[in-house]
Copies of this chain bind each other. A is one copy, B any other.
Amino acid sequence: MVNNMELIRVYKALSNPTRVQILQWLKEPSKYFPEVYPDGVCVSDIQKKVQLSQSTVSQYLSTLQDVGLIESTRKGQWTYYKRNEVQIKEIKRCIMDHI
Contact = CB atoms under 8 A, between A and B. Distances in A.
Contact of A8 (B8, B15, B99): B15
Interface stretch (A36-44, A48-56, A88-96): A88-96
Contacts of A15: 8, 11-12, 15
Contact of A91 (B7, B17, B99): B99
A2 interface: no
A14 B99 contact: yes
Contacts of A17: 4-5, 8
Given A15-B15, A92-B96, 20 more contacts: A4-B17, A4-B20, A5-B17, A7-B20, A8-B14, A8-B15, A8-B16, A8-B20, A11-B12, A11-B14, A11-B15, A12-B15, A20-B98, A23-B99, A24-B98, A88-B99, A92-B95, A92-B99, A95-B95, A96-B96
